[in-house]
Amino acid sequence: MTTIDTSTENRLPYSRSDIKKVLLLGSGALKIGEAGEFDYSGSQALKALKEEGVETILINPNIATVQTSEGVADKIYFLPITPFFVEKVIKKENPDGILLAFGGQTALNCGVKLFEAGILEKHNVQVLGTPVETIMETEDRDLFVKKLDEIDVKTIESIATTSMSDSLEAAEKLGYPIIVRAAYSLGGLGSGFCNNPEELKQLAEKAFSYSDQLLIEKSLKGWKEIEYEVVRDQYDNCITVCNMENFDPLGIHTGESIVVAPSQTLSNSEYNKLRSLAIQIVRHLGIVGECNVQYALDTDSEDYRVIEVNARLSRSSALASKATGYPLAFVAAKLGLGYGLFDLKNSITKSTTAFFEPSLDYVVVKIPRWDLGKFSGVTKEIGSSMKSVGEIMAIGRTFEEAIQKGLRMI
């Protein structure tokens, strides 16, 4: 943890008293790769705003969610989360602020488009919490690598491309095997491993239909995949709430992998090295609220690479909240309004502040569930693209106890 910083750098461009009415972009339709975690985070955020006496407007076309239940938001619009419809609601409701980080990738992408089109500025709507520029820096793979290079944090050797010929050229330069990732995509859509140009052509053709930018990366298949959930307020106070370890190595999507919290096989120096780096990254990017930092770790050499940073509430955030009892989405919404971590009460003790790192004397295991029988022709191999339709969470005193409880529930 850190001492309280009273400098004005990275302070929010608005004050708490200015925000009377907030528009929240909801979770949208549930689909494979995007599950109930965004309904959870949106509901928590609406609860936090209501507690502050802020009027809430929700856009969410999915009626089968908790956040669209009566009494959660003051007003609900069952409309698609696209710039066209969101602008219409903004014109009608005139909100003071908008929350983008609680509706998953769909809400984030929509918010970025609204910002780029100048719609938010035109209607004087303030983005609460993490600035849009930071969201763009974490989502655009090229900008992301440049930003982390500024603080000498290692990222996977990669080249951003916008065409098939560029992609083939980049792969030749890096040398096969490579991994392909699509920018601004969810659930690993359009990603995969390629061992030769033919495989790359096949995959890139598909990936370009989801995204106009691809990242061609040197493959680190087999390295450990570790995640940290980090919370930062506008005063630069930072805590890591939980760290998690993927049972499967790099190359298997987090949503397809068994995940264990807290990590079980990291040494003390590995754990602290990655924790310090996560805090350094979040501060440098200027995130306000909650974020998720994903690493690849080579256990033989303690060498690491940052895979990605999600400047939003993610699947891992929902797991971390439930595993630790620290309400990440609730706290992130309050930090977006301008509170400091030291202002907020710990929701469990009700007497100490939210400026603490939970310590776990138990093990939590998340196991995904697939339903591939319903999809003809789908490969049953797990990989870098998410196919699971849900997940279970088990708690035990030991890893063995937790995983056996989990397997009984699947």
Domains and CATH numbers, the chain: 20-127 (3.40.50.20), 157-218 (3.30.1490.20), 224-409 (3.30.470.20)
For residue range 143-177, list pLDDT tens digits in order. Answer: 898 999 999 999 988 888 888 888 899 899 988 88
Share of the chain above pLDDT 70, in %: 95
Number of residues assigned to the chain: 410
For residue range 3-62, list pLDDT tens digits in order. Answer: 555 444 547 778 888 899 999 998 777 776 665 778 888 999 999 999 999 999 999 998
What pTM was estimated for this model as a whole? 0.88
Give the whole-angstrom CA distance, residue 218 versus residue 179.
6
For residues 320-347, give the mean pLDDT. Answer: 91
Closest among 91, 96, 113, 103 to 58, alpha carbons compared: 103
Provide the sign of the torsion angle of the four alpha carbons 143, 144, 145, 150, taken in this order.
positive
In sequence order, the 6+-apart residues with CB closer than 8 A to the CB of 390 are 35, 368, 369
- Binned at pLDDT 50, 70 and 90, residue 186 comes out as low
In sequence order, the 6+-apart residues with CB closer than 8 A to the CB of 176 are 194, 195, 196, 219
Structure confidence at residue 283 (pLDDT): 95
| Residue 2 pLDDT > 70 | no
Mean pLDDT of the chain: 88
Angle, helices 83-93/104-116, rounded to nearest 10 degrees: 70
For residue range 222-256, list pLDDT tens digits in order. Answer: 899 999 999 999 999 999 999 999 999 888 888 88
For residue range 270-324, list pLDDT tens digits in order. Answer: 999 999 999 999 999 999 999 999 999 998 888 999 998 988 888 888 889 999 9
DSSP 374: G
Residue pair 65/24 in contact (Cβ under 8 Å)? The answer is no
Q: Print the SS3 string covering 292-335.
A: EEEEEEECCCCEEEEEEEECCCCHHHHHHHHHHCCCHHHHHHHH
Residue pair 139/184 in contact (Cβ under 8 Å)? The answer is yes
| Burial zone of 177 (CB within 10 Å; 0-12 exposed, 13-18 middle, 19+ buried) | middle
